[in-house]
Every structure is written in structure tokens, then in C-alpha cells.
Structure 1
Amino acid sequence: MNEQPATEKSPLHPTSAQPVTKANWLAPAHIRWAMRNARMVVPTAGVRHSNDSQIFAQGDALSLDDLTLQLPHGRSATWAQYLDGNRVDALLVLHKGRVVFESYYGGMQEHDAHGWASMSKSVIGLLAAQFIEEGRMEASAPLARYVPELAGTPFGSATVQQNLDMEVALTYLPELPPDIGLFTAAGLMPAREGMPNSINDFLLKATRSVDSPHGSIFYYQNGSTEAVARALKNISSRTLAQLVSERIWQPMGAEDDAYFSVDSSSVELASGGLSSTLRDAARFGELVRNRGQRDGQQVVAIAALMRVLQTPSADNQERLSRAGRAQTGYGNFWWHPAGTDGALYASGRFGQRLFIDPANELTIAQFGSYADTRARTISGDQGVAPHENSLRSGDSLVALARAVATRLRETGK
């Protein structure tokens, strides 16, 4: 193998002479490169694309340069401010299944795979919905029925649905916080003495129960997604990458391979390890918007999609409000903003968004790479750290979708 000359920058030296490593790849100086090059730093498992790709028709181009977003409390933002605030790498708008806007920024190209971060959770939510509707997994059963090793943990004692809705009453140990602790266990950060060295070990060691009963609180964290994914793998005797390929990626007509980052035991990071192209992220959104249909054919059972699309109850929204997430519901690893007539969205750290609006026949897929160094809470009774920029919130995503829908109506599209 030929070595690269010392005078040339290798792929691990994208912007400076400093090598990119697990210790610094998510730092502000490297995050944009890192979101497109995860498999150059960590091992991955491939998600096979479809041999029959769904082709998007081109619609009439939609101009967004002069778009204004109407934000809560009488505030507003321009299109340029939104792009800058989210450090957008790519954004695509589909209306009635046709591409009306698609643009790439910061050097990203159409066939680059970009990290989904926590948008990955919503993929697991759809897989779980399929297993539940097929009778292979019972939503009201303790998750430990399917993952006996988790008996005695908060994840195992909570039901499948309580895990899917982030209603598990637990607290993370201070020495094993839900972000750094899991990132280390998953191999995304350098190993630290005393920390679990695999995702499965992290689930066993990272938490303890609290006095509140499961189902009484909302606490958004990564462990529940990892636990549900483990149940799906145990039930099916398939890897997560195989399940996503066979049950979602190929049926929806993915054009390119995706991949998951994996830990030292080759276990996929279900809660945040998926990477794909922008168009394949949009294809996933269209699969949900069209209730499992593709080109008029039912490729994923409609019952599973209806479970995902169902608006959460008022009690669910009240639990989120108490957790500092007012005007929002959450179910099956999907966010449901209030007042949007059935819309829902997937959201991921660093600026990943997938907004699905069936009423307006609209899907918006966005990749971003803003640095996010906020510490995650270790229990459900702690307040959510605010975004450094309010344009990174769910409210701003809803404002963007509403502005785009209004522009589509105004232009008669």
C-alpha cells in the first residue's frame, strides 16, 4: 500500500495539521467533516440499498431566499438566518413527492452520507411498530420479556411502549452520563477507565430506578432506544443493519447504502449512529407520509405507519410540558408538534431534521453540523438545557415548515 506523502493532507486532516481522532472529531473545528465521515473514524455496519430505487420527479423550483419564518413570541427570522443558525449542510423539500428545493452547503455533495444523530431513533420506532402490529412484540409487556438480561434495570421493568415514548423512570449515574457515557461505550469517544466498553454493558450499569412509576414522567434519553433495538434483534435473530435494510431501506427504494456506527462488539448505535444521503432521508420521510405506500404499492404495513402517525394523548403532552417541552407530544420515538394537523418530525443533535406534514403533502429533510456541547440531563426531574441559538429548536422547524407550506400555496403549487 502506498503511503501518502507527508506534505499532503490525509482524509483525517481536513482543515488543519491536527489529526481528527475520537477525542476531537465532534469539536467545533471538525464537526462538519465528522458528520460526513464517521466511517473514517469508527467501525460501521452497512445498510443495503434497494435494487429498485425510488426516483423523485422534479417539480417547479421553489425560491426560498426571501422566506421569513414567524417564530413564537412575535419574533421572526430570515431564510439566511435559519441556514446560518443551524449550520445547514443540506436541505431538500418535497411537495406531493416532487423535488421543489434541494441545496447543499459547506462542501457536501448529493451522494455524501451524513450522520442522522438522534433522527436514528425514529427509524427504530417504525421497526418496533412493525413488530408490534405483527404480534411479535407486545407493547404493554415489560421489555425484559424480550431482553432477559435487562431484568432488574429501569429499561427492562418498563414496558415496550413506555420505552418507545420515553416514559421510563430512571436516573443515570453521574459517572456514566447519558451522552458521554454512551458515546464512550459505543466507541465514539476514547475509552475511559471504569466506563463500560460496549452499549450492552452501558445499559446494565448506567442507571438506577427512581421513586416515580414508569409512565408518569417524560425523560428523553438514549438508553431506551438501545434497549428496544436489542429486543428487536433478539426477536428476529437479525442485526439492526439487516432489519433496517430489509424492512425499511429496500422497501422504500433507497438509492444508496446507509451505515450504522458499531461498538467493540459490533452492536449498532441505534439511538444515533445512522448515516445516509439526504435523498434517502427524504425517502424515509415519504414512506411515513404515504402511510407505507410507494408508487401505489403497500411496501410497509399500514397498521405500523398508523401507529407512528397517531397523535399522542393530552396526558402525553402534559408530561412533556412538565419536562419543559410545551406544545409537543412524543410517541414511538417521534416528535408531534401541537397545532400542525397531524405533522410529526424526527430530530437529531447538531442540526438533523425530518419534518413530515401529510395535510400539506410536504416533507422536509435537513442535515446540519452546528457544534452542540450542552450537557445532557441525568434524570427526568432536571430542566432541559436551552439551545445556544433558538433557531435550532423544534419551534423554528415548525415555523420553517409553515413558511414553506404558505409559499407553496401562494405560488399555486
Structure 2
Amino acid sequence: MRGFGVALGALALASCAATGGTPPATVAVAPQEAAKLRQVGAAVLFWSQEERFRNFPAMEKLFPGTVARAGRKVRALPQGAPLPIAEAEVAAFMAAQNVTGLLVLQDGKVRMERYARGYGPEGRWTSFSVAKSVTSTLVGAAIKDGYIKSIDDPVTRYIPDLAGAGYDGVSIRQLLTMTSGVKWNEDYTDPNSDVARMFAEAVPAGMDPTVFYMRKLPRESEPGAKFVYKTGETNLIGVLVRRATGKSLSAYLEEKIWKPFGMERDAFWMTDQTGAEVSGCCLSVSLRDYGRIGQMALEGGKGIVPAGWFADATKAQVTYPGGGYGYQWWVLPGGTYAAQGIFGQVILVDPSSKLVMVTSAAWPRASDRDLAQARLAFAMKVQAAARQ
């Protein structure tokens, strides 16, 4: 096991590729607000630095969404021995990376926890594509519950309005591994890319916005042949889970993960103009609960997903130069894996040392190789310190 050093080196490459009770109600979106929501949703990619610092911890004040409520029984994260890293070095890393939250768990104990710029344990920070790894876990939960028979089922069995489009013959597995063969542009710097435009159009009444957009895309390769990172496909996974379970993603998240695993704070999940969660993005969670997500994966999700789900989800189902991709998890050389989001969000898991490292941040650019390499260097120091 070569640990975080190799792992974050691969992430640098990847970042440049790219219970009981009533279920939480979806926040209604008035018709006059729908057009505004479509415009602002795309604008998130092009906020100024000051807007990022101000808005990333306050998405629920800007956008409609749903809430997954925390339960009464909170999973403890006991205090562990502080990592032997100079405080000045930690502060310098956080300042250079615009990190507002930094957490390191080992054996489920807190070995480092820092906050900046007014963020704190009571707050939430948006995750961007870290949400993808949570959405894929809900697929595992739906299989365990019998709502989905197999990830080898065709997607059109659960989303029949995709029939006759580029997703004919595509399996759930191929959505999870982003190997559908459907053409997609994930360029965060291009306002005309698919990732920026997918909610920009008015949608006919009764049509899901994700399905409306994705069914228009052409196929460029055979299903299973080519890995292309597509946020839109994780949004389709969310549609699939909602339709299979008959529940909102937040309601199912609350039932299957948030309450059973003992999350500490409510989670907020941004919704589209129809009130459905944007499942490829936009889940806002507290720093410690991001750490618990990593801990859940590390422990295998017993009682939440089928036995062996995380072993499969966090191994390379497909490869790219420097690493691989599982079921919406980045799979890295040496056995480490990660949930990663733009602007510096990451949950990094090193099973060999039972280490979880989380950063919530506001990088000046969506993806940045130099910042990823600097995070690599810091993570290597964290790992070395944890072994002392």
C-alpha cells in the first residue's frame, strides 16, 4: 500500500479529466422561479471567489431543496491523539488551498479537525460531485431492499422514457461506471458544455429535466467500451432510485444512511425546477458527517448495502491513466479510493491505515492540477504522521 501520495497523484489527473416519520417534503418551486433557478444553477460554475466563500456554506438560502434529517442517536467520533504536524504547516495548507474544513479520522477517531472563514461544526458545505458517491450507495441500498433486481438490468426498465434514445441497451452498471457510450461534455469552463446547460432549457410539463436533456444526446461508442465522466448520468441514477423506490432521494437517504449510521446534522440536497434532487451534485453536509460517509465506506456499509457492495464499488471497474473508476468512486493505485468534487472537495479513504481525510474548500478554479498536487504533498504528511 502506497497510500495517499499515490492516491492524490491520481486525483490530480482525475481532476483534469474531470427511519420512521414522514418523509421530508420536496420544496415547491413556483413557476415564476423556475427560469431563474435554471439560470442560477449554471452560474454556480462561474461565481467569483467572494461568492464561493459566501455561498458554498449557504446553498439552502439560494436554492430550493430537500432535507435528510439526522436521528437522535449520533455515531460518536471520539478524540484521538493529535497528529504530530506543526500548526503553522496546517494553517499554511488551508490558506493556500482556500480550505474551510479539514478533518482526519483514524480508526474512527478524530486526529485533526480545523475550520476557517467562519465555517464550523454546526455548518454545512456543498459537496459538488462528492454527492455522486452517496447516490451510488443508494443504488446499493435499493438492491438490498429489493427495489432494484440487479445492476445488470437495463436502465430503460426503470426509466422507460429513455427508450428509443442513446440509452437503449445501457445497463445500470454502465451508468454507475460512466461507460454508457453516450456523448457528453463535462468542461466546467465552457458555458455551452452539457454540464452547464443540462438544466438551462424549459422542460415540457410532466417530463423530468434530466431525462428530457439526456435522451437527446447521441451515442458515440458501444456501451461498456469507453469511460467518459458525466454528471448527467449520475442525475439519471437519481431518477432511477426515485422511480424504483417511490421515494425522494433525501427521504431514502434519511431512512437508509443518515439515521441508521448516526449522522450528526441534517443534510440539504438541492433540487431542480421540478423539485427532484440533483443527484450528481449539490448535497450539503457538515464536515464530520462527510467523515462519517468515508467511515461508512471503510467499514463496508453493513446493514445499508448488500455484503460486498463497497468492495465492488471502490475497486477499478474501468481505468484511466493513473487510476480507475468504480461505482461513482475514484479508485486509486495502492487501494485508496475517494469521493471528489470540484473546487477542492474530497473524502479520501486509505483502508490500509484506516484513515479518512476530508477537505471542504473553495478553490479559485473548478479543477486545478497544481492545487491537487499540493494537497497530495499535505496528505502524504498526514499519512506519515498517522503512522508515528
Q: TM-score, normalised by structure 1?
A: 0.76
Larger radius of gyration: 1
User: Is the CA contact 2:210–2:236 (under 8 Å) kept in the aligned structure 1?
Assistant: no
1:180 is aligned to 196
Distance 1:308 1:57 in 2: 28
Secondary structure at 1:329 match in 2? strand
User: Is the CA contact 1:147–1:156 (under 8 Å) kept in the aligned structure 2?
Assistant: no
2:102 is aligned to 91
Bigger relative contact order (CA 8 A; separation at least 6): 2
Distance 1:367 1:49 in 2: 20
User: Is the CA contact 1:196–1:202 (under 8 Å) kept in the aligned structure 2?
Assistant: no
Measured against aligned partners, the alpha-carbon deviations of 1:232-262 in whole angstroms (never above 9, x if no partner) come to: 1111111111111111111110111001011
- 1:308-323 aligned at under 5 Å gives the runs 308-309=313-314, 311-313=315-317, 316-317=318-319, 320=320
Q: CA deviation at 1:215?
A: 1.0
Judging changes above 3 Å, is the alpha-carbon distance between structure 1 residues 144 and 128 closer, same or farther for their aligned structure 2 residues? same
Residue 347 in 1 paired to residue 340 in 2?
Answer: yes
2:213 is aligned to 205
Measured against aligned partners, the alpha-carbon deviations of 1:180-209 in whole angstroms (never above 9, x if no partner) come to: 113xx2xxxxxx5x5548992343235422
Q: CA deviation at 1:399?
A: 4.6
User: Is the CA contact 2:183–2:217 (under 8 Å) kept in the aligned structure 1?
Assistant: yes
Q: CA deviation at 1:396?
A: 5.3
Distance 1:260 1:219 in 2: 25
1:165 is aligned to 177
Residue 333 in 1 paired to residue 328 in 2?
Answer: yes
Letter in 1 for 2:275: S
Distance 1:46 1:307 in 2: 29
Letter in 1 for 2:155: L
Measured against aligned partners, the alpha-carbon deviations of 1:161-181 in whole angstroms (never above 9, x if no partner) come to: 111001121224899632211
1:57 is aligned to 78
Q: TM-score, normalised by structure 2?
A: 0.80
Residue 229 in 1 paired to residue 241 in 2?
Answer: no
2:54 is aligned to 33
Q: CA deviation at 1:230?
A: 0.8
Percentage of matched positions with identical amino acids: 23
User: Is the CA contact 1:226–1:270 (under 8 Å) kept in the aligned structure 2?
Assistant: yes
Partner of residue 365 from structure 1, selected from 358, 364, 373: 358
- 1:288-327 aligned at under 5 Å gives the runs 288-293=297-302, 298=303, 300-309=305-314, 311-313=315-317, 316-317=318-319, 320=320, 326-327=321-322
Secondary structure at 2:295 match in 1? helix
Judging changes above 3 Å, is the alpha-carbon distance between structure 1 residues 396 and 290 closer, same or farther for their aligned structure 2 residues? farther
Aligned CA RMSD, in angstroms, stands at: 2.6
Q: CA deviation at 1:279?
A: 0.5
Measured against aligned partners, the alpha-carbon deviations of 1:297-330 in whole angstroms (never above 9, x if no partner) come to: x555433333323x215xx22xx2xxxxx21110
2:5 is aligned to none
Partner of residue 402 from structure 1, selected from 371, 380, 388: 380
Query: What stretches of structure 1 of length at least 5 have no aligned partner?
Result: 1-20, 68-77, 186-191, 321-325, 374-386
Secondary structure at 2:228 match in 1? coil
User: Is the CA contact 1:44–1:259 (under 8 Å) kept in the aligned structure 2?
Assistant: yes
Aligned residues: 340
Query: What stretches of structure 2 of length at least 5 have no aligned partner?
Result: 1-39
Secondary structure at 1:248 match in 2? helix
User: Is the CA contact 2:203–2:212 (under 8 Å) kept in the aligned structure 1?
Assistant: no
User: Is the CA contact 1:82–1:391 (under 8 Å) kept in the aligned structure 2?
Assistant: no
Partner of residue 45 from structure 1, selected from 48, 63, 66: 66
